[in-house]
Chain A
């Protein structure tokens, strides 16, 4: 009996010893990210830039700041796929020193889907900043999610975009163009792939383009004022439409009217129509309810813009617009994990917004950075992740 008990004890001890035999060392990597100013700047290395490394698998983010050599060091990085982003705000004085122009600038850079493997370590990566001037017209609010009808159906005709004068001067909006950017918002179905034009960081590819008519000085927009561009300029709460809709757009400044032989798009007589310059949509200008890319721009001659075929597709070609002509951009994707579906180049918008769901009335509204007198200055860092807040219902001309 004693021998049996002793043998039993030995077996259990052996079993306990096995607990320490089955572990590997999980490798980590040292990553050095060098951040550079645009090529024509007076100095190459960007010092004091905040760099963020985000693990795409679980969203875990690490941050580091570039040193005197423009390098940010990330220690202890697990192998995986990452999004890399950097941003730098330049005051007018700093911009004067670097560019010769005393104009505040917002610089951004990003690389999505960077694969970091076990070797090499250290791994050297590079980001080059790019950006645009601040203090101009901005996209203030984009309501794209739509709403539900009383019967639980979907209603998307109440979409609108609000454009705001964020500067200190009156801006004439004659000839201002608005467009949606080509590309899916996320993994809508198993076959969905990101836009074919993602690699082109110098241009933005547009699906449908509209323009505010006028000869140049007919449509003044005062500082702190805004205009509403509606898909349909009607009171959507009307019992014949959708009483659950959150908006009455019968007093919108402009609407998009897609004239068709079958009259599928209604023309609200009280709201003037934008000029339809290029259209690839359905019966009306429908922004993707999963998240659109929207840009406002001016171009000297729209007809001279190149029309580019979509590789491997029979869909209508898209308008290729140089980024230098874009005044402001907004990007929304399907959810927080859809960064690889970004359509707007990073220099114009380094981040993205996303709603919690479709048809839930949520809206993206730009944050207020400061109030000067009675005029609100909206935040504009060229980053929709930081600049926009998610509100439960739209607020057309809320302020």
Chain B
């Protein structure tokens, strides 16, 4: 069969079982996430063959319910969604294929101040109104990655393609609506210098497009707000309106992996890139709605030391995002932010007969800064989150039971806020958002589940699991999320 047919087969019929697949244990999918790899941490398709993962397939149905008052002003009061997720990894001949498909239908209740898909991605130019309403969303995502056989003795190439399409609409007049399409291409290279040293290079070329409309199916005409920063906005009475965001993303990631004599593994990844988005309003005579740009720098370090009793691991991840927006009315770069996140993890995992467990200490330091010259708003926040994450999986008769808990605390180290030319949105949107981001909070995540085999089919596993997450703040309240999943693994 041609490679194209194989790719389609992988996406559409993930239940196809390979006659050459060995006995399959659902734990094996879980273990691979403990060992960083070029594919897992950098989406390097050329390194698929080196991913410590048996061939597998997984199909999951999920239901999630989230609610609570401890939230950002542009988050819905409650959210619920159903999702279908399927993914699989296959090696056919000397080629390696990975495919993933997601479909999610969600309903948000009482969402205000946002007519776009994601008001938190950094772009400050957002359409909004003051009416809170219910939103219905429908999103589909698909991913294909192909890794080539080795050539010239040391080289592999690969290509990953991600596609995301979605739409959403509010049920309350004037029924704002969005529609988005995102396409990503990730060409990749893998070079094995010797038995211990590997290099990888991954490119990322992304095209983003989102269209927004309002008022076409309404007989009410409230004011349409155009958010232009942190408190800065303009508003006009609007009968119907439309706008389009077109964006590009370019990134490059360099990877290095080294195995010592005793199999200790070092993985280093560093990269950077930039994102540009342009907003245009109107169809017949498009007008400038804002220009946004973001540069990203990233560093990932991991250390893995296998030992007789435990496998020790340490990870450090640094991510710096620096964004700015050019105001469409004053034609000045008036909005900017800098978000620095440093995440770390240290601990061990062990897999003995009859027991699998892990114990990690995790930390995350955030240093955030945002400013808007028009509304003269400036804020700085430093947060530190520390959590302990433990997990166990053990057999009970013919099933595997697992349970885990991660608990910790987010502490505010420092913060400062100033708004010297406040607007009505400073008090209703900017300040509450700042209070949420800088709030202390208790974090508790629990999960439990059970895996069991389909009687006569040893390569097919059922899984049911429940995860519950809660964040609590003494002043702002709680936010909790419960998700129930049913999966088939093969």
Residues of A within 8 A of B (CB): 1, 4-5, 7-9, 11-12, 14-16, 18-19, 22-27, 57-60, 76, 78-80, 186-190, 334-338, 357
Q: Are B336 and A15 in contact (CB under 8 A)?
A: no
Cα separation A239 to B24 with both chains bound (whole Å)? 75
A11 to chain B, nearest CB (A): 6
Contacting residue for A58 out of B222, B299, B423, CB 8 A: B423
Q: Are A25 and B332 in contact (CB under 8 A)?
A: yes
Cα separation A133 to B238 with both chains bound (whole Å)? 38
Chain B interface residue count, CB cutoff 8 Å, equals 44
Q: Are B235 and A57 in contact (CB under 8 A)?
A: yes
B233 contacts chain A at the CB level, 8 A cutoff = yes
Cα separation A82 to B420 with both chains bound (whole Å)? 20
B45-53, B316-324, B449-457 - the one binding chain A: B316-324
Q: Are A57 and B295 in contact (CB under 8 A)?
A: no
Cα separation A337 to B222 with both chains bound (whole Å)? 10
Cα separation A189 to B369 with both chains bound (whole Å)? 42
Residues of A within 8 A of B333 (CB): 22-24
User: Which B residue's beta carbon lies closest to that of A14?
Assistant: B297
Q: Are A12 and B318 in contact (CB under 8 A)?
A: yes
B330 to chain A, nearest CB (A): 6
Q: Are A4 and B256 in contact (CB under 8 A)?
A: yes
Residues of B within 8 A of A23 (CB): 324, 333-334, 336, 373
Known: A188-B221, A337-B236. 17 other contacts (CB 8 A): A11-B272, A19-B336, A19-B369, A22-B322, A22-B324, A22-B333, A22-B336, A23-B373, A24-B333, A25-B373, A26-B373, A26-B374, A59-B235, A60-B423, A76-B421, A336-B223, A338-B237
Residues of A within 8 A of B293 (CB): 22
B301 contacts chain A at the CB level, 8 A cutoff = yes
Q: Are A26 and B330 in contact (CB under 8 A)?
A: yes
Nearest 4 CB-CB pairings of A with B: A15-B297, A57-B234, A24-B332, A22-B324
Contacting residue for A5 out of B223, B295, B301, CB 8 A: B301
Q: Considering the complex, which residues of chain B in the window 367-411 have a beta carbon less than 8 Å from any beta carbon of chain A?
A: 369, 373-374
B206-231: CB near A (< 8 Å → 1, else 0) gives: 00000000000000111100000000
Residues of B within 8 A of A (CB): 220-223, 232-240, 256, 258, 266, 268, 270, 272, 293, 295-297, 299, 301, 318, 320, 322, 324, 327, 329-330, 332-334, 336, 338, 340, 369, 373-374, 421, 423-424
Q: Are B330 and A19 in contact (CB under 8 A)?
A: no
Residues of B within 8 A of A22 (CB): 293, 322, 324, 333, 336
Cα separation A163 to B268 with both chains bound (whole Å)? 82
Q: Are A5 and B268 in contact (CB under 8 A)?
A: yes
Residues of B within 8 A of A5 (CB): 268, 301
Pick from A18, A24, A58, A186 the residue with the most CB of B within 10 Å: A58
Residues of B within 8 A of A337 (CB): 223, 235-237
* A11 with B223, Cβ < 8 A, contacts A58-B423, A190-B239 known: no
A129 to chain B, nearest CB (A): 30
B270 to chain A, nearest CB (A): 4
A97 to chain B, nearest CB (A): 40
Cα separation A348 to B220 with both chains bound (whole Å)? 30
B72 to chain A, nearest CB (A): 22
Cα separation A19 to B221 with both chains bound (whole Å)? 40
Cα separation A7 to B269 with both chains bound (whole Å)? 11
Q: Are A4 and B268 in contact (CB under 8 A)?
A: yes
* A186 with B237, Cβ < 8 A, contacts A15-B297, A26-B330 known: yes
